[in-house]
Structure 1
Amino acid sequence: MEASIVHSFFLIFAGAAVIATFALYTRQPLIIAYIALGALLGPSALGLIDEPELMNDMSHVGIIFLLFLLGLDMQPSHLINMLKKASWIALLSSIAFASFGYAIALSFGYTQTESIIVGIAMMFSSTIVCIKLLPTTVLHHKHTGELVVGLLLLQDIIAIAVLLVLYSIDGNSDAGISQFLLPVLGLPILIGIAFVFVKYILLKLITRFDRFHEYIFLVSIGWCLTTAITAEMLGLSAEMGAFIGGVALATSPISQYIATNLKPLRDFFLILFFFTIGASFDLSLLGAVIIPAIALAISSVLLKPVVFRFLLKGLKEDPQTSWEVGFRLGQVSEFSLLIAYLATSIGLIGNLASHVIQATAILSFALSTYVVILNFPSPIAISDRLRKD
């Protein structure tokens, strides 16, 4: 097992270094290169990586760190205000995207149930892609970044509700009223615990031992993972727990020091995340799903900016900001991959419908990434003028 893991890591990171070099020379986004490498080395192509589940579990840690670092850049008062303003936009846009996805899937001959699941998968935007393409020090403290993050968090809440419904349909789960009440009660409990612990214990420990950089590094990782695991125990997502843990620390000056030191660790796991997306796709089904997937992905990238532009007018947002927010949220979410997996495992949809969702997510990641890096500020923009971090 140990040798296999070392061998897998060698293939992933040595391969990522080679393909990243090629991508930079040809001015392509690194995200797409990592996904392509996963597809090449994965079980359905060369078959050199034989532990996709392990890779998937490890890549999940990258998303947790990403949301934790995002929380460190968010002032609680600004975040609460944005969530209040944008809640109705998140709800209406989700209904619109689900309707478009349902209609497109139905037109390609999928069953009513499969079309509904495809529509649901289209509701959400990718937290990891959106945040990866947000300049850390330029937009997070500006209105555009707050809008993007606020809408992503509201979509996260809706996605959790959808997943709970799917779990309740699963005959093997012990679903009941408690499963739905737990996250409703768990969210305020987690927020309260996090802010009290940070104020009265964590910050005092950091202040006392701030000369020991290794200690701050360890405490930061421990706090991030503690809030993530606690969130899962309370029926929430680990990502949401990590974000709350970051926000609880955001009022302290130490937050920016922690954010800077954890970025390399975050990037390590994010490479695994994008690699796993490519590796988990069954290329033998590509011919059967590529046409509907292209239709859904293009619809997502084109329709989401229009819908958000229209809805954000209700918040008196200027057209430039509204279009940028819409294009940044133009892809399908990693939650869609989880929805596809769950719906397949409980027999709601077939393998082809599941792979349509997976292919749509991958294509929308690629299309949206190109749109953003060619037109808006991002850390990986091709243009020097737009490259901001």
Structure 2
Amino acid sequence: MIQDTPLVTTIVVGLCLAFLFGVLANRLRISPLVGYLLAGVIVGPHTGGFRVDSVLINQLAEIGIILLMFGVGLHFSFKDLLSVKAIAIPGAIVQMTVATALGLGFGLIMGWGMGGGLVFGLALSTASTVVLLRSLQERNLIETDRGRIAVGWLIVEDLAMVLALVLIPALSTSLGGRITGEADPLAQWMQLGLFGTILLTIAKVVLFVILMVIVGQRVIPWLLKISAQSGSRELFRLSVLAIALGVAFFSAHLFGVSIALGAFFAGMIMSGSELSQRATEETLPLRDAFAVLFFVSVGMLFDPSKLLTAFLPLIVTLVIIIGGKSLAAYAIVRLFDRPYATALTIGAGLAQIGEFSFILAGLGTSLGIINDEARDLIVGGAILSILLNPLVCFAAEKIRSRLETKNGETTVIDVSANDDDDLGKIDKTNHTILVGFGDIGEKIANALQSSHTDFIVIDHNGQAVKSAEEQKNEAILGNAANVTILERANIEKARQLVISTKSAIDAAKIVAEARKANDRINIIAHAVTGVETSYLKDMGANTIVTDDEEIAKGILKHLSYPEADEQACSDDKTSPLNNGERRKM
């Protein structure tokens, strides 16, 4: 029976094992990504026992990549990307060149030849989109200056890899491989040479961008609006998924760009719609679930025996990925006079390889340019670098704090740059800390401001912080679940903490950290269900405001009672109610 439902089996086994090992990893205070990768190793073809369909799980992982890049695009605009082009374009090109040169040198030492070494180096030069974005999201850095630089860097790398995947089949014989029919069909039909193929690829990417800007900016928001006006939540959710998946699929098949790049542009175009926030919320559960399957699929590629049979080559490959790429990226960012935090975040985030590396390794093997040994080192390097990336990011944070202390960098937030690099502790006591400056948070802030209550806003969204400051409020850009951010808000001397975020999981983290720092503080939080209310109270919240309770109070405040209306009419015969006017409560 299980053999008759391979898709269901793959999804169920993949998610269940990922959950079990993810929980175990979290208990051991390491990244859940480690658990997801381990789940993949267990159900992979190299460990025996129960196996899932590797072809199916790779296709499911592609959906995860599409949804993840689409979600990132929803938080971006062309203005954001253009603002970092001066560092992202030259930075990505130089970093990829350095990593490719290191890989080429290693390949020549291993006797793979110029072509094999070049493809091997290219595979090590590009970072995993999923890993870097998950790392930025976990630390709420997507909308900061360093987050935008990192994403811009990724986009340049993706474009470079799209070009490489088109050119390598055309140059197969020159690189020591064999001729295949995998070159661009249009280039073959037009009998284009090398430079003609390059120009054709660039033209197709430019045409895709132009169509997305001119046509997409009109069609995509219009489609969202039509589906929202239907009043059906499931239809709206379906429209968001159809746009994300449809644009990614057709951009790859019609224009030759990667599905990740197509999904990113779809999200970026949709971000101009007033419904973009709702679109983000609708895709979040699916995005996280399929992103987990991506890491399971990566784990399935790893053969644990390579740790013994190819130990030294694997170590050298890791040194190139983690050491060479990181140092190159760090040096480039610092040359552009960016803060240590920005340089270290980008350097640590790029210290891994992923999906494009697998594609390039598979293409190189099929063309006979690289051998199985090189392919296995690419796969092993990807697995281990992803596995070690949380530790690399943790080490980068430690190094950042030491460098800033040693070099005396200022600790003042730069809201104009939307960066949360550094901020000194505020000089407030007996104040209120308001977490979140969305629709609810803004109303609370206005009430606190009207009552002349001393307060400070914390939000991880750069635009929200900017909006708060424009309204003459003091604000901190950062994740309130981070104890450092709470310390900057002087949590130890605060009188009360108000959490307006709707996520009970995020609120619970904030409550727990705040309670540790100040056991006397009054904590007010928001919950949707009774289960969330109990959970937040267990974590240490004093007061929980639920949606049902406040909606009921709001309705009761505006209710008109028959007895009261009759009494009012009898008491005042000249009341406007006698003239047929409606009563406003």
- Give the TM-score, by structure 2 length: 0.62
Match of 2:363 in 1: 342
Q: 1:386 to 1:326 in 2, by over 3 A?
A: farther
Q: 1:227 aligns with which of 237, 240, 247?
A: 247
| Equivalent AA in structure 1 for residue 180 of structure 2 | G
- What one-letter code is carried by the residue in structure 2 that aligns with 1:201? V
Aligned to 2:284: 263
- Could you tell me how far apart the structure 2 residues matched to 1:83 and 1:96 are? 20
Preserved CA contact (<8 Å) 1:20 1:30: yes
Residue 73 of structure 1: SS of its match in structure 2? coil
Partner of 2:25: 23
After superposition, the Cα gap between the structure-2 partners of 1:118 and 1:76, relative to the gap in structure 1 and judged at 3 Å, is same
SS in 1 for 2:146: helix
2:237 pairs with 1:217 = yes
1:134 CA displacement: 0.6
Partner AA of 1:193 in structure 2:
L
Q: Alignment partner of 1:63: what SS? A: helix
The range that moved more, 216-225 or 47-56, is 47-56
What are the ranges of 5 or more consecutive residues in structure 1 without an aligned counterpart? none
Report which stretch shifted further, 104-113 or 73-82: 104-113
SS in 2 for 1:149: helix
**What does residue 343 of structure 2 align with?**
322
Root-mean-square deviation (Å) = 2.6
Contact 1:83–1:154 (CA<8 Å) still a contact in 2? no
Match of 1:159 in 2: 161
How much does 1:259 deviate?
1.3
CA contact (8 A) 1:294 1:363 kept: no
The 5-angstrom pairing of residues 1-389 of structure 1 reads 2-135=4-137, 138-168=140-170, 169=172, 170-175=179-184, 176=187, 177=192, 180-210=198-228, 211-232=231-252, 233-373=254-394, 375-376=396-397, 385=483
> What CA deviation, in whole Å up to 9, does each residue of 1:330-385 have, x standing for no partner?
212321111111111111111111101110111111122222246559x9x9x953
Of 84-93 and 20-29, the range deviating more from structure 2: 84-93
Q: 1:265 to 1:192 in 2, by over 3 A?
A: same
Cα deviation for residue 124 of structure 1 reads 1.0
| TM superposition shift of 1:110 | 4.2
Q: Secondary structure at the match of 2:125?
A: coil
Query: Shift of the alpha carbon at 1:3?
Result: 2.2
Give the Å deviation of 1:38: 1.0
1:299-332 deviations in whole A, cap 9, x for unaligned? 3222323212222234221233212221111212
What displacement does 1:90 show? Answer: 1.5
* Alignment deviations for residues 121-160 of structure 1 (CA, whole Å, 9 cap, x no partner): 1211111100011137932221100110111110111111
Distance 1:109 1:182, change over 3 A: closer
Q: Say which structure, 1 or 2, has more relative contact order (CA 8 Å, 6+ apart).
A: 1
3-state SS of paired residue (1:292)? helix
What is the TM-score with the length of structure 1 in the denominator? 0.90
Distance 1:136 1:17 in 2: 17
Q: CA deviation at 1:112?
A: 3.7
1:33-82 alpha-carbon deviations (Å, 9 max, x no partner): 11111111111112422411111111111001111111110121121232
Amino acid aligned to 1:368: N
Larger radius of gyration: 2
The count of corresponding residues between Structure 1 and Structure 2 is: 386
Q: Greater helix percent: which structure?
A: 1
Moved over 6 A (4+): 386-389
Q: Which moved more, 1:320-329 or 1:351-360?
A: 320-329
Cα distance in 1, alignment partners of residues 235 and 484 from structure 2: 36
Identity %: 24
Return the letter of the residue paired with 1:385. Answer: V
